[in-house]
Amino acid sequence: MLAKKLTQASVDDAKRTEITISTKAKIRNTYTEELIFAVCAPIGSLREPVIAKIESLLKDNYGYEVKRLKLSNYINTYFRDMPQEKAGETKAYTMLMNKIQGGNELRRKFGAQIMAELAINDIHLSRHDEQEPKPIEQLRSRRWCFIIDSIKNKEELELLRELYRDIFYFFSIFSPLDERKKNLLQKNLSNDEVNNIINTDQYENIQYGQNVRNTFVEGDFFMRVSSENIDNLSDKVSRYLNIIFESQIITPTPDEIAMYEAQSAAGNSACLSRQVGASITNQKGEVISRGWNDVPKYGGNLYSESDLHDNRCKLWGYCSNDRTKDILADDILDAIVLNEEVVGSLLNGVKIGKEHQIYQLLRKIIRKNTKVKDLIEFSRAVHAEMHAIIIGSQLAGSKMIGGKLFCTTYPCHNCARHIVVAGIQEIYYIEPYIKSLSMPLHYDSLTESEGVQENGKEKVKILMYDGVAPRRYLEFFLMNRPRKDVDGKLISEFGDYYNPKSQLSLQALPTLEQQAIHSLTEKNFFGNEAK
């Protein structure tokens, strides 16, 4: 009797397993192999060779049809009132600035996400016949990849990432500043025009302006591309595609491990300004120390959540650096308005108190429009790089000499001199830090060139990080598919082509895209384009 019950239970379990498998298969059958790539690159970077290599490898190695969506084409189409030449400007400069200003005007009139919405609209329409849309149940998977070239602000990025989620991959492409300037000069721009357009492209201090600087750092893959490493481009792109398709077993490089350690260390920081993490590797690429920015405590190291008497700035309720800069601004202003000679000659003897409108206006100018705003000396926190150097010196001694430092943010000038004196030879960062005076103050010992030497002299290299973004480290390096079969042999056959590691259901994707299209309709975009 017991055996009969067990047999019946086994049959029931088998039926349930069969139902479960068939349900999973039905769901999987709705998935699409489509991919959405987007690129972001500071103007003048070697973006074109990267996109061309992605296109060729997707076509040749993965059987994909590649569609490139240039966001600048939307500006040309929907913002037509752009002068071809302006007095005192080269034609190339006028054309580039027209595109920037045209994009700004479209974003001002129709919202910061308008370029991304137009790209989504084109992707959505590509699934349907010209005459009429297909019902969702008739949509079929296709090996298509859309490359969106190129993203200029975070709102565009956030919309695409929110909609396409795991099938969306963001490539941040970077070339050194000197090389970008050289590339722009070859377009017949003047030196002043080159400097102006680089600054405008990186960050416009207006609500609807471009913000490449703060968008770039959100990449999934960082690619440092220059004339010195262009020969490695094919290998680099191939590796990233292998990660996306799981077509090979790919493990992190020592640099990727180190930057992931730096990013994870940043999570320990309670700094009110920004969370920064750093790690240091020895000459073998092994991580020997980590650091983050926070307040030092008696006995050594930094305050942490486990300390009985945690005395960090989060408990003070304010940033000591910002408060001290306010005090400095007041000191400067008081030295002017309380000076009898100044009061007599400029203010006609009128005394101005701290609550006076003129006083407050001058205070704001000093605090926000002068170098006072860039002062960093009055923070209570030890910087991440300094923390990593101190801990590394205590635990690893001389092992950091000749090593590398990885930091989530470009080092400030205070840290730069400590990095140099520690004997570290290379620095890698993700986020720029415009307050840093590292290069002008230490040009004799630092370089942003990839070359071994600069003008015949060896220097510490400060380079943009190149590799998988730490934000997607675990997702990319933990494989979904099995690596071996039941006999213990490597699984390497997957039919004609590999499928992407991550896919989305066509039952949901078109519906989500319709939300962006509906937004265009609500704005009456196609009936009311910018003129």
Please write the tens of the pLDDT for every residue from 319-358. 999 999 889 888 888 887 776 666 655 666 666 777 778 7
Q: How far apart are CA 248 and CA 239, in angstroms?
A: 9
Q: Is the distance from CB of 326 to CB of 373 less than 8 angstroms?
A: no
Determine what percent of the chain is predicted with pLDDT higher than 70. 87
E-strand stretches of 61-167: 65-70, 144-149
- Check pLDDT > 50 for residue 475: yes
pLDDT band at residue 169, thresholds of 50, 70 and 90? very high
Does the pLDDT value for residue 174 go beyond 90? Answer: yes
pLDDT value of position 456: 66
Q: So what's the pLDDT on residue 342?
A: 62
Least confident range from 151-155, 230-234, 304-308: namely 304-308
Calculate mean pLDDT across residues 234-256. 95
Cα dihedral 90→71→48→236 (10° resolution): 140
**Tell me, what's the pLDDT at 531?**
46
pLDDT at 4: 46
> In angstroms, rounded to a whole number, what is the distance separating the alpha carbons of residues 285 and 68?
38
Cα–Cα dist 415/420, whole Å: 9
Query: Is the pLDDT higher at 132 or at 304?
Result: 304
Region 364-372 average pLDDT:
86
Mean pLDDT over the full length of the chain: 87
The span from the CA of 116 to the CA of 153, in Å, is 10
Q: Which has the closest alpha carbon to 53: 234, 246, 275, 242?
A: 234
User: What residue type is 286 in one-letter code?
Assistant: E
pLDDT band at 26 (very low <50, low <70, confident <90, very high): confident
> How large is the average pLDDT for residues 469-486?
90
pLDDT computed for residue 362 by the predictor: 83
Find the mean pLDDT for residues 61-67.
Answer: 95
Higher pLDDT, 346 or 487: 487
Q: What are phi and psi of 446, to 5 degrees?
A: -125, 150
For residues 479 and 477, which has the higher predicted lDDT (pLDDT)? 477
**Taking 90 as the threshold, does the pLDDT of residue 517 lie above it?**
no
Across 470-489, average pLDDT: 89
Rounded Cα distance between 173 and 225, Å, is 7
CA dihedral 488→58→218→431, nearest 10 degrees, is 90
Pick from 353-367, 371-385, 388-402: least confident: 353-367
pLDDT of 130 higher than 60: no
Q: Is pLDDT at 478 greater than 50 in this prediction?
A: yes
Q: How confident is the model at residue 157 (pLDDT cuts 50, 70, 90)?
A: very high
| pLDDT on residue 202 | 83
At 2, is the pLDDT very low, low, confident or very high (cuts 50, 70, 90)? very low
Residue 434 has a pLDDT of 85
18 confidence band (pLDDT: 50, 70, 90): low
CB 158 within 8 A of CB 151: no
Interval 451-468 mean pLDDT: 84
Higher pLDDT, 102 or 6: 102
